[in-house]
Structure 1
Amino acid sequence: MLDPVVRRFIDPPLDRAGRVLAGWGASADAVTLAGLALGLLSAGLIARGLFDLALAFLLVSRIADGLDGAVARASVKTQFGGMLDIAADFLFYGAIPLAFAVASPSENAVAAAFLLLSFYFNATTFLGFAILAEKRGMDTAAQGEKTLYYSNGLLEGTETIVFFVVLCLLPDYFPTLAYVFGGLCFITATLRLLAARRIFAN
């Protein structure tokens, strides 16, 4: 929901930084993998209960996640790069709830499982919509230039990152926050299904 608004502010500085990195010879895929590594390191720190340090790495990893597209736009965009980017995002998204479950299994495990289930459902509708949109030749730049069709929704990347930041700041509230956010993910996925039925039924 917030991605189009946020992108208007973050895209110009990201594009400038992307041109610099591309000029230095950095590849978009390398930036994607660096962002993933930092995100997984953040998850590892969460699992050890080091939430403040984890938050720092989490934020840097998401900057890298925004930079990879900027580097690609300044150099070479590939379809594989788009696939690698979304795969890295989903792996990172799944690693954070798992890390909270590892950090405190008795308090967090069931809520983390519910959150992961909601992510799984939401991701399926997201990718399914993208496939059907590709078949119809649909295009959108609301979330920036993307290899896949990014359907909008109640919860998008910006909301998820804000949610992860709040989790790191308030780790004791993970179960409650996970149930609330997971419920919103289910609503997002259901609304996307309804939209797909309206658009692709024929």
Structure 2
Amino acid sequence: MLDRGMRRLIDPPLDRLGRLLASRGVGADAVTLIGTVLGLMAAALIALGHSGIALLPLLASRLADGLDGAVARATAKTDFGGFLDITCDFLFYGAIPLGFVVMDPAANGAAGAFLLTSFYFNGATFLGFAILAERRGMETRARGMKSLYFTGGLLEGTETIAFFVVLCLWPDWFVPLAWGFGALCFITALSRVVLAKKVFPPG
């Protein structure tokens, strides 16, 4: 829901930094992989009970996630780069909740499983819509230039990162927050199913 406005705010400085990195020979795929490593470091720190410290690599990983696209725009976008980016994003979004489950399996296990299931369902509707949109030649730049067709929703990347930040600051609230956010993810996914029914009618 907030991604469109956030893109207008962060894209200009990211594009400047992306052009600088590209001029120094830094590739977009390398930035993607660095961001992924940082995200997994954050998940590991959370699992070890250091959720506050985990904020640093977590936020750095999301900066890298924005920069890889900026570097690609300054050089050349590739299909593999788009594939790598979305794959690493999904790994990151799964690893952070997993970190909280590992930190306290007894307390966080059920809520964490529900949250990850909601992410799985939401991700399936997102990718399924993108595949059908590509097949029909649909395009959108509402959330910046992307390798995939990005549909909006109640919860998008901005809300999810804000949610992860809140979890890192107040880990004792993981259970109610995970149940609540997971429920909103299910609503987002179901709304995308309804949209797909309208946009891709049978026949």
Which TM-score tier does this pair reach, normalised by the shorter chain?
A: over 0.9
Once the two structures are superposed, the pairs formed by residues 114-153 of structure 1 within 5 Å of their partners are 114-153=114-153
User: How far has the Cα of 1:195 moved from its partner?
Assistant: 0.2
Amino acid across the alignment from 2:14? L
Does 1:92 find its partner at 2:92?
Answer: yes
Equivalent positions of 1:44-193 (< 5 A) are 44-193=44-193
Q: Report the counterpart of residue 15 of structure 2 in structure 1.
A: 15
**Structure 1 unaligned runs (5+)?**
none
State the alpha-carbon separation in 2 of the partners of residues 28 and 166 from structure 1.
29
- Give 5+ residue unaligned stretches, structure 2: none
Question: Which letter maps to 1:190?
Answer: L
- Cα distance in structure 2, aligned partners of 1:169 and 1:149: 33
Displacement after TM superposition at 1:197 (Å): 0.3
Aligned-partner Cα distance in 2 for 1:110–1:55: 24
**Offset, 1:73:** 0.2
Q: Cα RMSD over matched residues?
A: 0.5
User: Displacement, 1:76?
Assistant: 1.4
Aligned residue pairs: how many?
202
Q: Corresponding residue for 1:29?
A: 29
**What displacement does 1:51 show?**
1.1
Distance 1:142 1:98 in 2: 31
* Aligned partner of residue 147 in structure 2, secondary structure: coil
- Separation of aligned partners in 2, 1:69 and 1:140: 16
For 2:94 and 2:35, locate their aligned partners in 1 and report how far apart those are by CA, in whole Å.
15
TM (normalized to structure 1)? 0.99
Aligned-pair identity in percent equals: 65
Shift of 1:24: 0.5
TM-score by length of 2: 0.99
TM-superposed CA distance for 1:52, in Å, is 1.3
Q: After superposition, what is the alpha-carbon deviation per residue over 1:88-128, rounded to whole angstroms, capped at 9, x for unaligned?
A: 00000000111000001111011000000000000000000
